[in-house]
Amino acid sequence: MPIEKRWVVKSQGDAKAVAELSIGLGISPVLANLLVQRGIDTLDKAERFFNPRLEELHDPFLMKDMERAVERIERAVKNNEKIMVYGDYDVDGTTAVALVYTFLRRLGHDNLRFYIPDRYNEGYGVSIKSIDYAASKGVSLVITLDCGIKASEKVAYAKEKGIDYIICDHHLPADHLPEAVAVLDPKRHDCQYPFKELSGCGVGFKLVQAYALRNNIPFSEVERLLDLVVVSIASDIVPLTGENRILAHYGLKRLNENPGKGLLSIIKICGLEKHTITIDDIVFKIGPRINAAGRMRVDEEDENAAPSGGHAAVNLLIERNEKAAENFGSMIDTFNQDRKSIDRSVTIEAHELIESNPELKNRKSTVIYNPKWMKGIVGIVASRLIETYYRPTVVMTMSNGFATGSARSVPGFDLYQAVESCADLLENFGGHMYAAGLTMKPENVEEFTRRFNAYVEEHIDPQMLIPQVEIDAELLFSDITPDFRRKLNNFQPFGPGNPAPVFITRSASSHDARLVGAECEHLRMDLIQRQKPNTTLQAIAFQQPTHFEWVRSGRPVDVCYTIVENHYRGTVSTQLRVKDIKRCTNNKQ
């Protein structure tokens, strides 16, 4: 049986503000309340929320060191210096590299290459191997994206070889910044940039926006790169508020109307070319395929890049020829199929390891290690284990003589602090509150396991170990009209900071429930609420087959759900995406 979830109904918004928005905007009190819950409590704020404008993007020169970064790139372009664009192997890193590379190429600067570090041989961030590679190719300027903020020693090493660095990052910096030509990071303590939550690709976008401003390049040349930015925003799970909301809004418009050839090939592979692409489509379909390249081993060399799995993703994203892009897309999709097969088998092994050890099964955290597992999928496995056991989780394997792994957390628990408490045992670590990567000597695994578990035991609130569903409001099915759904769509794009609203409806039932999916893992049903007027809506409950017999019998259930549009053969209908089901006994929750 899945873990029982707690349902928590959010506090309702200020009644006066709700009434004013409802009347002023011509929307239902339920929708007006959603706005107030999100801090949008005036008509002016609502207008900006519903109508994001590119004119409201912040001046990129507000970011510390932006003048220096632009000046250095101008000099490199003028002198035809060799520039190497460098980024991490995940979606944020590869989209960022593709964005800056594409922009510089459009300037006519062809003395250009890119580099994605190999996950297995180099790991995350700036590597010594990449610096030696750059030196061997005569590179004099490296632009890092989505990494580099803690690479002080590496940047100093590169400086000895005559290589300048411009660092574009969005992670928290250490006490001392690298001595680069410029360090662009809105999270710098001395950076006054108004919005702190850009993705790594978002920081790269601000760099090219600044260059375009300084050199009288039309903004349209920058705007056409927003399809890459929205893919990074969705995949890196940064807050969809402020500047990110504007970038995501126009990025989705670009992605739906005129995406780059590489992204178009992935869109077609995902079967999304005739659909309106949403943030969810990026998170669950487009992003994982791009990510898969960096997770798999690739030995093929490219004239523009050192060999790594991630460089296949960049080749896809910068490709200008549609046929070539389709070929790269097929390669990426094959990586993804292989990745899914491997992570499925490793997840099964991890479950067996936990279930066979009562002490491990009953802890408040999970730390497991198997030197045979593939490094590229341990983060996925950690996330899968949280779905089952719902507690802070670390999954490790062996790579290049070290135990290396990924950690994932549950809402409310600061995983980074837990890992940092074991810093003396680690060779390297990085991340944030809910996700981290770490490396240590194999002989330290046992002590790390003991101390990490002890830290979680001491610091975690027991309530954090119970999955929670936050509910915005209670609805009758009859409230969910096509007009309600269309107005709710205006709240998109949904994501962190602006989550898809969750509603609850009580005492619904169904007589046609059926299990669907390759392993009959999903529950599809038509739910009816027998209140005047009786209303029936289509619903899908992913990964919830345990309720099948109860629902099929027609017995009542309470459901909490989000509302989505279902597109089928040109027809648009309302579908409930059920997050949880509670069986009603005596018609009570």
Question: How far apart, in whole angstroms, are the C-alpha atoms of residue 324 and residue 328?
Answer: 6
Give the model's pLDDT for residue 8: 92
d(CA 100, CA 232): 13
Residue boundaries of the structural domains of the chain: 6-51+468-583, 55-337, 357-465
Whole-number percent of the chain with pLDDT over 90: 77
Residue 1 has pLDDT above 60, yes or no: no
Percent of the chain at pLDDT above 70? 96
SS3 11: coil
Dmax over Cα atoms in the chain, in whole Å?
79
**Fold entry, domain 6-51+468-583:** OB fold (Dihydrolipoamide Acetyltransferase, E2P) (2.40.50)
**Does residue 135 surpass a pLDDT of 50?**
yes
Domain 6-51+468-583 identical in fold to domain 55-337:
no
Q: Report whether pLDDT(434) > 90.
A: no
Report whether pLDDT(518) > 80: yes
Q: If one looks up domain 357-465 in CATH, what number appears?
A: 3.10.310.30
Phi-psi region of 271 (alpha: psi -120 to 50; beta: other; left: phi over 0): left
For 10-160, list the strands marked E by DSSP. 83-87, 112-115, 141-145
What sign for the dihedral angle of Cα 54, 276, 493, 292?
Answer: negative
User: What would the mean pLDDT of 251-255 be, rounded to a whole number?
Assistant: 97
3-state secondary structure of 404: strand
| Start-end of H helices in 258-286 | 261-269, 279-281
What CA–CA distance (Å, rounded) separates 425 from 421? 9
The top-level CATH class assigned to 55-337 is: alpha beta
Question: What integer is the mean pLDDT of 498-512?
Answer: 93
pLDDT of the residue at 305 = 42
* C-alpha to C-alpha distance for 409 and 379, rounded to whole angstroms: 11
Residue 328's pLDDT band, with cuts at 50, 70 and 90, is confident
pLDDT (average), residues 57-79: 98
Residue located via tokens 């509302």:
563
Q: What is the mean pLDDT of residues 62-66?
A: 98
Rounded to 5°, the CA angle 358-360-361 comes to: 60
Q: Please, are residues 317 and 265 in contact by the beta-carbon 8 Å criterion?
A: no
Mean pLDDT of the chain: 91
